[in-house]
Chain A
Amino acid sequence: MKVNDAVTGGLLIVFAAVMARETLTFPELSGQDYSSALFPQIIAVLMGLCGLALVAKGVAARGTVPWVTVPEWVRSPGHVRNFAVLLVSMAFYVAASDALGFIPTAISVLVATMTALRGVRRIGSTLAISVAAALIMQQFFGGLLRVPLPYGIVPPNLF
């Protein structure tokens, strides 16, 4: 999604203001002229100034650049589905990997995203590739590199 620089600038100004407000709660360093608030405050000020510059630029270009430009892919249901599947898959991994375990969650993520991208007709090869990739990843990270990938419902002695 493309937005006019004025919109981005406005959002940056709001973000900088919230950030600056938060820094007011940071304590002073006793005996020092500068506290832990100094750097975030400088960042907030610079961010605010950049925001103002973008607003000025965006307003000047408002005749040629619309406030919001919806990307071409949003008009393609297939691409919207792909994007949604990607986000939902990742959110699913974050939410379910501890309870279900790495292998089932990873296979689900792979099957969902690959089916979205390759179509349902290739479900056989999608399933085979997904299972193989998840098992290789488990063996490589969990076995070889000793990353404690969650087991969940899969018995630990399986690997």
Chain B
Amino acid sequence: METTALAFGLIFDPYVLGVMLMAGMFGMFMGAIPGLSATMATALLVPVTFFMDPVPALAAIVSVTAMAIFAGDIPGALLRMPGTPASAAYTDEAFAMTRKGKAELVLGVSLTSAALGGIFGSIVLATSAPLLAEVALKFSSFEYFWLACIGLTCAAFVAGGSQVKGLVSLMMGLFIATIGLDPISGHPRFTFGVVELMGGINFIPVMIGMFALAEVIRFVVSLAPPVQIPQQSIGNIFSGLGSILRRNKMPLLRGSVIGTAVGALPGAGSDIAAWIAYATAKKFSRTPEKFGAGHPEGIVSAGAANNAGLGSAWVPTLVFGIPGDSITAIVIGVLYMKGMNPGPTVFLFHPELIYAVFLSFFIANLMLLPLGFVAIKTSRRMLSAPREVLMPIILLFCIVGAFAINNTVFDVGVMMALGLLAYLMEENGFPIAPAILGLVLGPLLEESFMTSMIKADGALLAFFERPISAGLGIVTLLIWASPLLGMLRRKRAR
């Protein structure tokens, strides 16, 4: 009870609420501009949160992502250009509704579904995370090793596209994580005498490069025609909304559940959750033939899923230190920077901070309604923001953000190199999220393995001697073997 009161005190501080409001407005703007994603908004926000206390820093990230994920629906509905990848699943559907003259209705549906889905995800986060943390307190380095393995495997397999390319991206991240002094022996690895590399490569310049700079590069070489600003004015977005939500209670609930379940899987973010929720809504619909022609059922389900996934992605992040998606991979880095090492002990040592983060999810999703309303009403003005002015300013922000962490231009160079690499990787179908997860989870994987082996005197079977560790180990091995088993089954079927 005392912890909850403390958490309320921490989050209802005018400074924290002000930070959340500012971050929310920033997130709305970034999400609404096609080509600027929620991950990019988070990446650009991190250098600023570096200088804040833990609660405002984390609340700002929660606020920016919740707003940006919804705001991606605005250009999706008005221009058929998803503002963020999470909106892509139902962009055609939303645009079809706009063409039928129902722009305000589709945006109202998106906004309320996002807020309701987000609140569902927040409830799951606030109830399941403390329970799971109690279980996780029994974990030792053996269990953490397997958890890191599961996290990394999911990251490579679920990221979308070719699994081999996902694995290559993961290996790149793991390789970058090995650069610097080895945590066990203190021997410098892959530093080639460069002093700046001794401390390893900081993940913030990497993340800014891979998520923000890569996007700037994509913009400057883009041959796409300039964005056509919609001419129609937006009327009352809440008119007729009640009946649509009443008719689509089940798709809304199903979308929230799918978003929550998929969001908690490492590597599978809101975008994957939205695709699955949309496909499931169509499968279970009584009128599947209406999908694609401007039918709100899929939008309700997928819109709820992408915001529900945001909250649940924080469950493995806070409880085990295993990020659910690239945004929570960034959050892990922020938690370490703030001395709140993610894992079950954070629930023991800083419960008030964790509960304040839970509260920030509820506040952000409630704040989504007024901010989203304003964003929809001012969408024409936001969409007409000149990107040829914005992108150079974002570039400068990338440079200063990378510099600000260690106050060295070396990190600006790292950001440049990784930004170019990420651009080339995405051009060739290599996903970026596994690399970031590899970079964040690499040290945990290696340290838990080496610590376990020192404890067990090098006996590998020790990974199967504790019951939870053995269970996790078997699950991991089954996941690894699943592609082979699938191949064998297909051969037998032939």
Give A residues with C-beta under 8 Å from B.
1-3, 5, 8, 12, 19, 22-23, 26-27, 29, 32-36, 39-40, 43, 46-47, 50-51, 53-54, 57, 71-73, 76, 79, 82-83, 85-87, 89-91, 93-94, 97-98, 102, 106, 109-110, 113-114, 116-118, 129-130, 133-134, 137, 141, 145-149
Structural contact, A137 and B453, CB atoms closer than 8 A: no
Give B residues with C-beta under 8 Å from A.
47-48, 50-51, 164-165, 167-168, 171, 174-175, 178, 182, 184-185, 187, 189-190, 216-217, 220-223, 386, 388-389, 391-393, 395-397, 399-400, 403-404, 407, 409, 412-413, 416, 424, 427-428, 442, 445-446, 449-450, 453-454, 458
* A–B complex contacts, Cβ < 8 Å, 14 sampled: A22-B190, A39-B174, A39-B446, A40-B190, A43-B171, A46-B167, A47-B171, A79-B220, A79-B221, A79-B222, A90-B395, A106-B399, A106-B400, A116-B220
Known: A36-B182, A86-B220. A43 touches B413 (CB 8 A): no
Q: How far is the CA of A43 from the CA of B221 in the complex (A)?
A: 33
Task: Please name all residues of chain B whose beta carbon is closer than 8 Å to the beta carbon of A83 when the two chains form the complex.
Answer: 217, 220-221
Residue from A12, A19, A113 in contact with B392 in the complex, judged by beta carbons closer than 8 Å: A113
Task: Please name all residues of chain B whose beta carbon is closer than 8 Å to the beta carbon of A106 when the two chains form the complex.
Answer: 396, 399-400
Task: Please name all residues of chain A whose beta carbon is closer than 8 Å to the beta carbon of B221 when the two chains form the complex.
Answer: 71, 73, 79, 82-83
Q: How far is the CA of A84 from the CA of B211 in the complex (A)?
A: 20
Task: Please name all residues of chain B whose beta carbon is closer than 8 Å to the beta carbon of A109 when the two chains form the complex.
Answer: 392, 395-396, 399
Residue from A32, A53, A91, A141 in contact with B404 in the complex, judged by beta carbons closer than 8 Å: A141
Would you call the interface of chain A mostly helix, strand, loop, or mixed?
helix
Q: How far is the CA of A103 from the CA of B76 in the complex (A)?
A: 38
Task: Please name all residues of chain A whose beta carbon is closer than 8 Å to the beta carbon of B222 when the two chains form the complex.
Answer: 73, 79
Q: How far is the CA of A113 from the CA of B424 in the complex (A)?
A: 21
A-B interface, 7 closest residue pairs, ranked by CB to CB distance from nearest: A33-B458, A36-B182, A117-B388, A113-B392, A82-B220, A73-B221, A145-B51
Task: Please name all residues of chain B whose beta carbon is closer than 8 Å to the beta carbon of A26 when the two chains form the complex.
Answer: 182, 187, 189
Q: How far is the CA of A40 from the CA of B412 in the complex (A)?
A: 25
Structural contact, B409 and A94, CB atoms closer than 8 A: yes
Q: How far is the CA of A134 from the CA of B396 in the complex (A)?
A: 8
Known: A47-B168, A72-B223, A148-B407. A35 touches B416 (CB 8 A): no
Q: How far is the CA of A45 from the CA of B59 in the complex (A)?
A: 41
Most buried by A among B168, B400, B409: B400
Structural contact, A118 and B389, CB atoms closer than 8 A: yes
A-B contact count (CB 8 A): 151
Task: Please name all residues of chain A whose beta carbon is closer than 8 Å to the beta carbon of B178 when the two chains form the complex.
Answer: 39-40, 43
Structural contact, B416 and A1, CB atoms closer than 8 A: no
Task: Please name all residues of chain A whose beta carbon is closer than 8 Å to the beta carbon of B413 when the two chains form the complex.
Answer: 94
Residue from B50, B187, B453 in contact with A32 in the complex, judged by beta carbons closer than 8 Å: B453
Most buried by A among B50, B189, B446: B189
Task: Please name all residues of chain B whose beta carbon is closer than 8 Å to the beta carbon of A2 when the two chains form the complex.
Answer: 427-428
Task: Please name all residues of chain A whose beta carbon is closer than 8 Å to the beta carbon of B404 when the two chains form the complex.
Answer: 141, 145, 147
Structural contact, A1 and B220, CB atoms closer than 8 A: no
Task: Please name all residues of chain A whose beta carbon is closer than 8 Å to the beta carbon of B167 when the two chains form the complex.
Answer: 46, 50
Structural contact, A54 and B168, CB atoms closer than 8 A: yes
Structural contact, A76 and B223, CB atoms closer than 8 A: yes
Structural contact, A57 and B389, CB atoms closer than 8 A: no
Q: How far is the CA of A128 from the CA of B424 in the complex (A)?
A: 34
Known: A27-B185, A40-B178, A117-B220. 9 other contacts (CB 8 A): A19-B190, A29-B184, A39-B445, A86-B217, A86-B220, A106-B399, A137-B396, A141-B47, A145-B48
Task: Please name all residues of chain B whose beta carbon is closer than 8 Å to the beta carbon of A145 when the two chains form the complex.
Answer: 48, 50-51, 404
Structural contact, A90 and B453, CB atoms closer than 8 A: no
Structural contact, A137 and B454, CB atoms closer than 8 A: no
Task: Please name all residues of chain A whose beta carbon is closer than 8 Å to the beta carbon of B175 when the two chains form the complex.
Answer: 19, 40, 43, 47
Instruction: Looking at the assembled complex, report how far the CB atom of B338 sits from the nearest CB atom of chain A, in whole angstroms.
Output: 15
Task: Please name all residues of chain B whose beta carbon is closer than 8 Å to the beta carbon of A23 when the two chains form the complex.
Answer: 189
Q: How far is the CA of A8 from the CA of B453 in the complex (A)?
A: 35
Structural contact, B389 and A147, CB atoms closer than 8 A: no
Known: A39-B446, A110-B393, A114-B392. A97 touches B223 (CB 8 A): no
Known: A34-B453, A36-B189. A93 touches B412 (CB 8 A): yes
Most buried by B among A97, A114, A130, A146: A114
